[in-house]
């Protein structure tokens, strides 16, 4: 059934405060790969805010009046715009805005914006999510890190970085992120949603892309704007898992002079995600 477009423009009340613990940071780091240490403590990965924004978004979209079947939802696009990095000890709230509802063939698409701030009102991060509910509209007519290298020259292609993603990794990431959608562990649920098999979390692909970039750049806290478009699912077989390859090319600086990288994540010959990452000046 079509989603209720009356939800467009709604702003939901801030969530209860979430206290960021060092233990949760470490759990997330282990689930996405070790970050470079800073003062003996793991650095908060740039995709960590999904731990807060995902449950807040899922809770707002669970209203039966909206009509969304979350078991059929996959990520279409995700962006994090950091005002400052998340820190252990932060007490954060999330305010979710529903910005757009649209259709794409047999799929339905919801775009949300989550404003993450401290309980004192200090902005920390804005998370933009585009979620795709698969196949619920009637079908319309067809329409190990590489050595660090100089990377600031536009057009430079950085060395490829391979990651093996297994179903055990998916279970670990589900526990760390709170995303227990069964399409990430159940073949039956995945095929029911119209997928060929169990798929990796889009946010895990995004996290691994960020990990590759921060290892190249040499600054684990260097990414302050990261947007990813999820193109195709990463299929993760039960035996052997999947190999995700991240490549990147240095782009021209933005208007503020910040260096940018355009990254691509592939599985074999299949492009599963494309990203643009903006790097803090200190990482140059």
Tally of residues, the chain: 284
Supply the pLDDT for residue 40: 66
Report CA 146 to chain centroid distance, whole Å: 23
Q: What is the mean pLDDT of residues 41-67?
A: 91
Please, are residues 61 and 110 in contact by the beta-carbon 8 Å criterion? yes
Q: What is the mean pLDDT of residues 39-46?
A: 78
User: In the chain, where do the E strands start and end?
Assistant: 18-19, 37-38, 41-42, 73-82, 91-104, 107-118, 123-133, 157-165, 223-230, 242-251, 260-267, 270-279
pLDDT bucket at 43, cuts 50 / 70 / 90: confident
pLDDT bucket at 173, cuts 50 / 70 / 90: very high
Both structure tokens of 45: 């990965």
pLDDT beyond 70 at 5: yes
- Angle ∠(201,43,159) on CA atoms, nearest 5: 65
Please, are residues 115 and 94 in contact by the beta-carbon 8 Å criterion? yes
Q: How many whole angstroms separate alpha carbon 211 and alpha carbon 167? A: 19
The structural domains of the chain, ordered by start, are 5-143+145-283 (3.10.129.10)
Supply the pLDDT for residue 217: 83
Supply the pLDDT for residue 72: 87
pLDDT beyond 60 at 139: no
Q: Produce one character per residue of 200-211: b if its CB has 16 or more CB atoms within 10 Å, e if not.
A: bbbbbbbbbbbb
Termini Cα distance of the chain: 50
Please, are residues 161 and 245 in contact by the beta-carbon 8 Å criterion? yes
Q: How many whole angstroms separate alpha carbon 253 and alpha carbon 259? A: 5
Q: pLDDT (tens digit, 9 = 90+) per residue, 193-232? A: 999 999 999 999 999 999 999 888 887 778 889 999 999 9
Q: Any idea what DSSP says for residue 185? A: T
Q: How many whole angstroms separate alpha carbon 259 and alpha carbon 152? A: 7
Nearest to 152 by CA among 209, 205, 218: 218
Q: How many whole angstroms separate alpha carbon 15 and alpha carbon 55? A: 10
Identify the three-state secondary structure at position 127: strand
Which residues 6+ apart lie within 8 Å of 43 measured at CB? 29, 35, 36, 37, 220, 221
Please, are residues 76 and 229 in contact by the beta-carbon 8 Å criterion? yes
Q: How many whole angstroms separate alpha carbon 157 and alpha carbon 247? A: 8
pLDDT beyond 80 at 146: no
pLDDT bucket at 36, cuts 50 / 70 / 90: low
Region of poorest pLDDT, from 3-7, 235-239, 274-278: 3-7
For residue 250, count CB atoms less than 10 angstroms from its CB and return exposed for 0-12, middle for 13-18, buried for 19 or more: buried
Quote the mean pLDDT of the chain. 88
Q: pLDDT (tens digit, 9 = 90+) per residue, 245-259? A: 999 999 988 888 888
* pTM of the predicted structure, to 2 decimals: 0.76
- In the numeric block, the tokens 């009046």 are attached to 65
């Amino acid at each position: 059934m079509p989603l209720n477009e009356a939800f467009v423009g709604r702003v939901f009340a801030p969530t209860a405060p979430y206290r960021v613990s060092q233990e949760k940071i470490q759990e997330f780091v282990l689930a996405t790969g070790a970050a470079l240490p800073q003062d003996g403590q793991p650095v908060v990965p740039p995709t960590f805010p999904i731990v807060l924004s995902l449950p807040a978004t899922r809770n707002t979209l669970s209203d039966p009046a909206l009509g969304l079947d979350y078991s059929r939802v996959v990520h279409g696009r995700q962006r994090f715009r950091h005002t400052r990095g998340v820190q252990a000890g932060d007490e954060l709230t999330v305010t979710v805005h529903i910005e757009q509802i649209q259709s794409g063939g047999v799929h339905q698409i919801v775009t949300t914006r989550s404003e993450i701030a401290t309980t004192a009102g200090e902005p920390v991060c804005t998370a933009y999510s585009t979620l795709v509910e698969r196949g619920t509209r009637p079908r319309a007519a067809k329409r190990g890190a590489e050595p660090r290298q100089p990377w600031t020259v536009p057009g430079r292609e950085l060395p490829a970085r391979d990651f093996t993603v297994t179903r055990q990794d998916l279970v670990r990431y589900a526990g760390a992120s709170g995303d227990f959608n069964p399409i990430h562990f159940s073949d039956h649920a995945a095929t029911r949603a119209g997928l060929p098999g169990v798929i990796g979390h889009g946010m895990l692909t995004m996290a691994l892309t960020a990990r590759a970039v921060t290892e190249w750049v040499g600054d684990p806290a260097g990414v302050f704007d990261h947007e990813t478009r999820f193109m195709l699912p990463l299929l993760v077989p039960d035996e052997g898992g999947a190999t995700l390859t991240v490549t990147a090319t240095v782009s021209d600086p933005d208007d503020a002079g910040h260096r940018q990288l355009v990254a691509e994540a592939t599985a074999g010959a299949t492009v599963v995600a494309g990203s643009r990452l903006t790097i803090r000046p200190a990482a140059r």
